[in-house]
Every structure is written in C-alpha cells, then in structure tokens.
Amino acid sequence: MIEIEAYDYDDLFGDDLIGKTSIDLDDRFFNGDWQAIEEKPIEYRQIYHDSTSLSQGVITCWLEIEPSTKQSKTQKVWDISPEPVKDYQIRLSVLDTKNVPCEDFEGTSDVFVRCYVDDNVKKDTDTHFRCSSGNASFNYRIMFDVHSPRQNPLLLVLQAWDFDLFKSNDYICEWTLDLEAIFRNVRLTQQQVVLNKKYYDAFLKKKMP
C-alpha cells in the first residue's frame, strides 16, 4: 500500500492531518488493463480523516510503477510546471434591466448598474433617470483587465443601484456570475469567448444550470 496524506502546515504547534488516501500497488501492478495503458490515467482521490466519514477534499495525481532496471533515458519526461499566468480582458456590455423595483417615493428609480471583478475596481454605467417601469436602458460598455489563472475566484458582480443626489445611493439587488469555467476554456483554446445563448447552451448549461 502507498499512503498519501495532506497536512495543514503549522510553524509552532505541529502540522495537522487534513486527510489521507491509500492505493493498493498490487491491485495496479497485477491488473492487465492498467498495465496495458501507456499513459496512466489521472486520478481524483478523495481524502478522509478518522474523525469523520465526510470527504476532506480531493488529491489529483497519477501513479506509475517502473522496473528499477529501466534506463532513465527511455522514460517520458512530464512537464508539471505551473500553468503560466497571462493577461486577459473582460468586455462587458450592459444593455438594460427588467422589473427593477422603484425605490423613490414617487414611484421611480434613477437606475445605474455597478460592475466589478475585484472589490477595489468598481465601474458604473451612466444613470437612467426617472425610470418608472423597472426597465432601465443603458447600452453601456465596460472593460476589466484581469489575469488568469489566479488564486481568488473570477467572479463578475452586477449590482443595480438607485442614484440619489442628496443622500447615499440605494442598493437594489445584485447577481454574480462565476467566470472560472469560461476562463478555463479561454486558456485552453487561447481564443476569445462570447457569452451568448449559443455558447451557454453548448458549454455552460450543465455547469451553471
């Protein structure tokens, strides 16, 4: 058996075991189907801790068993260097709203949309004043420069606000779009992606129903 353990590093009080998984090497070595595969499959192994029956995460790995007499020059060299970070641009077109509640006492709202990817970079559309139907119109373009892959998730946040001149603006509602799956596709193909209904139905519908 080979055992793989994941730990939480602690400088002062000793490392904490998060979870572990075990692989039976005999089960692999004497399996003809596994031996017949030249490039061993990537495995996604759940890790567990004795304190609970719930999974504590997933370790991604693959396993090879090679004879010790095998010449190193005949072994395939795998590039496992991290994926390079590249710069990208999100181009957002804010067209209109529907059924946005009216916040002012006279039954209207001065609607604008606030958009951001990172909390410190927030951009607003122009304002549709005196909107009484909830259907504000903008046709406004916004761009964000981002890099990917990154540690923090790529979340696009859209917020509807009611503009007020003499007091603070009134927050109405918001919607968040997770861009991770889209950016994974962009990094893989190095082609731009247009998020429209055709792309959503073909690629995103199962991931983001």
Q: In the chain, what are the domain boundaries?
A: 2-74, 86-204
**Class of residue 20 by CB neighbours under 10 A (exposed 0-12, middle 13-18, buried 19+):** middle
Distance between CA atoms of 169 and 166, rounded to whole angstroms?
Answer: 9
Amino acid at 149: P
Residue with token string 């020059």: 73
Other residues' Cβ atoms within 10 Å of the Cβ of residue 142:
18
Question: How far, CA to CA in Å, does 153 sit from each of 149, 181, 185?
Answer: 9, 10, 15
What is the distance between the terminal CA atoms of the chain, rounded to a whole angstrom?
41
* Residue 99 in tokens: 């059924």
Q: pLDDT tens across 175-203, in order?
A: 999 999 899 999 989 899 999 999 989 88
Q: What pLDDT does residue 124 have?
A: 95
Residue 143 DSSP SS3: strand
Question: Does the pLDDT at position 166 exceed 90?
Answer: no
- The predicted pLDDT at position 75 comes to 67
For the cut 90, the answer to whether the pLDDT of residue 206 exceeds it is no
**If residue 141 lies in a helix (H) or strand (E), which one and from where to where?**
strand 137-148
Q: What is the pLDDT of residues 53-76, one digit of tens each?
A: 999 999 999 999 988 877 766 667
Considering the four listed CATH numbers 2.60.40.150, 3.40.50.970, 3.20.20.80, 2.60.40.10, the one that applies to the domain covering 86-204 is 2.60.40.150
Count Cβ atoms within 10 A of the Cβ of residue 157 and give its class: 0-12 exposed, 13-18 middle, 19 or more buried. Answer: middle
Q: Reduced to 3 states, what is the DSSP secondary structure of residue 115? A: strand
Q: Whole-model pTM?
A: 0.66
